Amino acid sequence: MNPPLLSVRGLRTVFPTRRGPVVAADDVDLEIAEGEALGIVGESGSGKSVTFLSVLGLLRPPGRIEAGEILFAGRDLRRLPHAELRALRGRQMALAMQDALSALNPAFTIGTQVTETLLTHRIAPDMRAARAQAAALLTRVGIPAAAERLDDYPHQFSGGMRQRAMIAISLAARPRLLVADEPTTALDVTLRAQVLDLLDTLRREDGLALALITHDLAVVAERCPRVMVMYAGQVVESGPTEAVIARPRHPYTRGLLESLPRLEDPDRPLHPIPGQVPDLARLDPGCRFRNRCGMAIAECAAPVTLQPAGEGRLSRCIRAPEMAP
């Protein structure tokens, strides 16, 4: 395998609140190589978005990274001056968001928002060239008559077009890493496949590294060779997607799988995970899932670390071995 393009070690991101600090990402490790796709799965609030906002240096105050190391192409992003980090952002690592309607600025035309990236990173020498490139980009994501629609405002686009335009903006500077935060949730099945195909193509041809944040395990199963499951700020399980889905080694992963409908067995009864995510400001050192876990035992109250669980996988459950079939 290539040396990883992105390597995160021991990331700890904290939001101070009036009720005490909330550790939104706790001791997160991850790696993504060029041309690789990593799926990140978890409920909202599990820390998956925070982890990657930390990577991109886009944490909103008062949130801040307390510990850890973020290596991108061998450079520690945490030690990089703001200006250099900014130069990387959008150029080498990009973000695609879930809801294009809110991600696109309602007050600017699509054309402006695409060319902005091109001009900022000096990919296009002037406005004329930038507009030509922008039209090409939009065409590439499947927007018809793109050149004429550059001067449209986001609200004049249909939902699917908007989403693709947003992805086109993310990809405008041909980044090496794309963090895609639920990029296709809003799209219908056909468009979803189209966009994901485009990402696959870029991955294969340009060596784009993809971090696909989603709660849709089906998409991960289909598109990402590796997956990482997060719960309450921690990575609870990671490994090759196929193995994780087939044989989960953490009760939470299993719960997630059971709560999802399956294409091959649509009549299977669904089992939503009972209970609620614990208050992140009031955590004890033990397993964070144990209040919802059918397998919880007294020992679960002791600190749990990520342990190898076979097949190149890691699990944060002391009873992982018992879960082997």
Partner 1 sequence: MSAAEAGALSPLGLGLERFRANRTALLAAAVILLFVLAALSAPWIAPHDPADADLFRRLQPPAWLEGGEWGFPLGCDSLGRDILSRLLFGARVSLLVAAIVICIAAVIGTLAGLAAGYLRGWTDTLIGRLVDTLLGFPYLVFAIGLMAMMGPGLHNIILVLVYKEWVFSCRVVRGETLAAREQDYVEAARALGAGPGHIMLREILPNVLSPVLVVATFRMAYVIIMEASLSFLGLGVQPPTPSWGSMVADGRDFLVDAWWVSTLPGLAILMLVLAINLASQGLRDAFDPRLHSA
Partner 2 sequence: MTASRLLERLFQTLPVLLGVSLIVFLMITLTPGDPVEIMLADSRATPEQAAVLRHDLGLDRPLPERFLIFLGRALTGDFGISFFHRRPVWDVLVERLPATIELTLAAILLALAVAIPLGVAAAVKRDTWMDRALSAISLFGVSLPGFWFGILLILLFAVQWGIFPVGGRTSFDLEVARITGFLLIDTLLAGRLDAFGAALRHLALPAITLGLPTAALLARVVRSAMAEVLTSDYVLFAEAKGLSRGRVLLRHALKNALIPVVTVAAIETGSLLGGNMIVETVFGWPGLGRLVVESIFARNYPLVQAAVLFYAVTYVVLNFVADLLYTGLNPKVRL
Which segments of 105-250 does DSSP mark as H helices, in order?
110-120, 127-140, 146-149, 159-171, 189-206, 217-223, 241-246
Q: Which does 279 bind (CB under 5 to 8 A by kind): partner 2, partner 1, none?
A: partner 1
**Residue the block writes with tokens 């087939």:** 246
Question: Which of 11, 175, 14 is CA-nearest to residue 96?
Answer: 175
Q: Are strands 4-17 and 20-33 parallel, antiparallel or unpaired?
A: antiparallel
* Coil, helix or strand at residue 165: helix
Question: Site for partner 1 (CB under 8 A): which residue of 276, 305, 322, 325?
Answer: 276
The region of 62-70, 119-127, 207-215, 279-287 touching partner 1 under the rule CB under 8 A is 279-287
Question: Site for partner 1 (CB under 8 A): which residue of 123, 147, 281, 283?
Answer: 281
As a whole number of angstroms, the distance between CA 293 and CA 311 comes to 24
Q: Which residues ranging from 49 to 68 are in contact with partner 2 (CB under 8 A)? A: 53, 56, 58, 60-62
Token pair, residue 113, equals: 């928002």
Helix axes 110-120, 127-140, angle to 10 degrees: 110
Question: Which of 76, 86, 138 is CA-nearest to residue 111?
Answer: 138
Residue 18 engages partner 1 in binding (rule: CB under 8 A): yes
Q: Which does 174 bind (CB under 5 to 8 A by kind): partner 1, partner 2, none?
A: none
Q: How many CA atoms lie within 13 A of 290 on its CB side?
A: 19
The region of 162-170, 201-209, 242-250, 260-268 touching partner 2 under the rule CB under 8 A is 162-170
Residue 240 engages partner 1 in binding (rule: CB under 8 A): no
CB 18 to partner 1: min, Å: 5
Q: Which does 169 bind (CB under 5 to 8 A by kind): partner 1, partner 2, none?
A: partner 2
- Phi and psi at 91, nearest 5°, equal -90, -55
Question: Site for partner 2 (CB under 8 A): which residue of 25, 55, 137, 169?
Answer: 169
Question: Site for partner 2 (CB under 8 A): which residue of 1, 126, 144, 155?
Answer: 155
Q: Which residues ranging from 114 to 133 are in contact with partner 2 (CB under 8 A)? A: 116-117, 120-121
Q: Is residue 241 a contact partner of residue 253, using CB atoms and an 8 Å limit?
A: no
The set of long-range contacts for 105-109, using a CB threshold of 8 Å and a minimum separation of 24, is 105/154, 106/153, 106/154, 106/155, 107/153, 108/153, 109/150, 109/151, 109/152, 109/153
Q: Which is nearer to partner 1, 228 or 280 (CB)?
A: 280
Q: Which residues ranging from 19 to 48 are in contact with partner 1 (CB under 8 A)? A: 19
CB 285 to partner 1: min, Å: 18
Chain positions contacting partner 2, by CB under 8 A:
53, 56, 58, 60-62, 86-91, 94-95, 97, 99, 102-108, 116-117, 120-121, 153, 155, 166, 169-170, 173
Question: Site residues (CB under 8 A) for partner 1?
Answer: 18-19, 276-279, 281-282
